[in-house]
Amino acid sequence: MAQPLIEAERLKLVDALADGAWHSGEDLAAVAGITRAGLAKRVEKLRDWGLEVEARQGLGYRLPQPLERLQRQLIDAPLRFDILTATDSTNTRLLDSDPAQDPQALLAEYQTAGRGRRGREWRSPFAANMYLSLAWSFPAWPPSLSALPLVVGVLCAQALREQGAAGVGLKWPNDLYAQGRKLGGILIEHRGEAGGNCRVVIGIGINVAMSAAQAEGLTQPWISLTEISAAPPARNRLAAALLRRLADGIAHFESLGFEAFASEWAALDLANGRPVRVLQGEREYEGIGRGVDAQGALIVEALGQYQTLHSGEISLRLA
């Protein structure tokens, strides 16, 4: 499908600035065949995508750091996938897609309505992070479907470790953490009827190289891969690693259930044996995390009793 002209124009400018070096406004305008005023308008369009574009008289324009766009030919994946420049939400797009094409994945450079658990906003500046969704159809409801967020967390942590990220852990039920700050999140939405087939759309957001300016207004402590990786993270390699891990891992989950991933989850579980705070409706209390059960439910020891809690019921805070 041909790109809208305005999108193609923006992408050419993104690519011209992608090295992070200063570029003369005169040269950029000449290459694009537009006036300097026209170039300034295109730069503003890039800022609409959440890109930081610095402008300085005598130097021109630059991005504060190099940028890597996603490219199909650089992503070796064992399933069908597509890449969008901009969309409202990759999860929304896949929920509306044809289940006959499953498993299928969708990646985007920019989201206007990215969302996390409980409808929270997921900040999605252009090419700063990883925005990926995977649609998977099961012929019947898996008996441990409630544990799927935990399985996906394990698979993401494995892919990140493979790409050189250090110290990644998991906060029940669906958050990736490093150094006590949020690195990524998982949102799973499903459709189907009890006793019939089941279709899930798995949304994954991972902070790759998001800057403080792009994250302005976020109240939760966060971290990017650039802070925990020995080398600058390559988004195309990360996308390929995630898709490979997900394709293989969810197939194993379909046949073997959560049991096949329980030990890896336990090794990454940041709440196990540690103080936690549980928010359950109007009720709030403290306890000690004691792992999860066979269905992925959280076990908390509080006031001398063990309680089993499900993700739809509570929010968990690490002490």
User: What pLDDT sits at residue 195?
Assistant: 58
User: Residue 121 to residues 88, 114, 128, 132, 209: CA-CA distances in angstroms?
Assistant: 12, 6, 16, 15, 18
Helix H or strand E encompassing 290: strand 283-292
Alpha helices (H) along 33-176: 36-48, 90-95, 148-162
Task: Note whether 135 and 200 are within 8 A (CB).
Answer: yes
User: What pLDDT sits at residue 153?
Assistant: 98
Nearest to 192 by CA among 141, 133, 151: 141
Q: Which CATH class, in words, describes the domain spanning 271-318?
A: mainly beta
Looking at the predicted structure, is the pLDDT value of residue 308 above 70?
A: yes
Stretch 165-174: mean pLDDT, rounded?
Answer: 94
pLDDT bucket at 30, cuts 50 / 70 / 90:
very high
Say how many C-beta atoms besides its own lie within 10 A of residue 38's C-beta: 13
Query: Which of 2-11, 89-98, 118-127, 137-146: highest mean pLDDT?
Result: 89-98
Looking at the predicted structure, is the pLDDT value of residue 115 above 80?
A: no
What is the b/e burial string over 98-129, where b = at least 16 CB atoms within 10 angstroms of the residue's CB? eeeebbbbbbbbbbeebbbbeeeebbbbbbbb
**Which of residues 137 and 196 earns the better pLDDT score?**
137
User: What pLDDT sits at residue 113?
Assistant: 83
Tens digit of each residue's pLDDT (9 = 90 or more) over 132-148? 999 999 998 888 899 99
Task: Report how far residue 17's alpha carbon sits from residue 64's, in angstroms, rounded to the nearest whole number.
Answer: 10
Say how many C-beta atoms besides its own lie within 10 A of residue 312's C-beta: 8
Active site residue: 93, 115, 182, 244, which one? 182
Is 317 an active-site residue? yes
User: What pLDDT sits at residue 147?
Assistant: 95
- How many alpha carbons lie under 13 Å from residue 213 in its C-beta half-sphere? 9
Which tokens belong to 119? 């409808």
Stretch 18-30: mean pLDDT, rounded?
Answer: 96
Looking at the predicted structure, is the pLDDT value of residue 119 above 90?
A: no
Task: Note whether 164 and 230 are within 8 A (CB).
Answer: yes
Q: Name 207's bridge partners.
A: 129
Active site residue: 12, 117, 181, 237, which one? 117
Task: Report how far residue 302's alpha carbon sits from residue 89's, in angstroms, rounded to the nearest whole number.
Answer: 38
- Beta strand pairing status for 168-171 and 175-178? antiparallel
Q: Does domain 5-62 have CATH number 1.10.10.10?
A: yes
Looking at the predicted structure, is the pLDDT value of residue 116 above 60?
A: no
Alpha helices (H) along the chain: 5-17, 25-32, 36-48, 90-95, 148-162, 235-256, 262-268
Looking at the predicted structure, is the pLDDT value of residue 279 above 60?
A: yes
Q: Does domain 72-267 have CATH number 2.40.160.60?
A: no
- How many alpha carbons lie under 13 Å from residue 167 in its C-beta half-sphere? 14
User: What pLDDT sits at residue 197?
Assistant: 85
Which tokens belong to 126? 């252009």
Transcribe 5-28 into DSSP letters: HHHHHHHHHHHHHTT-S-B-HHHH
Which tokens belong to 163? 């790409």
Is 45 an active-site residue? no
User: What pLDDT sits at residue 232?
Assistant: 80
By CB neighbour count within 10 A (0-12 exposed, 13-18 middle, 19+ buried), where does 130 fall? buried
Tens digit of each residue's pLDDT (9 = 90 or more) over 49-97? 999 999 999 999 999 999 999 999 999 999 999 999 999 999 999 999 9
User: What pLDDT sits at residue 193?
Assistant: 62
User: What pLDDT sits at residue 303?
Assistant: 83
User: What pLDDT sits at residue 159?
Assistant: 96
Tracing tokens 């790759």 back to the chain, one arrives at: 208
Is 117 an active-site residue? yes
Task: Note whether 75 and 240 are within 8 A (CB).
Answer: yes
Stretch 144-168: mean pLDDT, rounded?
Answer: 95
Domain ranges for the chain: 5-62, 72-267, 271-318
Please state, rounded to an integer, the average pLDDT across all residues of the chain: 91
Helix H or strand E encompassing 170: strand 168-171
- Beta strand pairing status for 104-111 and 80-87? parallel
User: What pLDDT sits at residue 185?
Assistant: 94
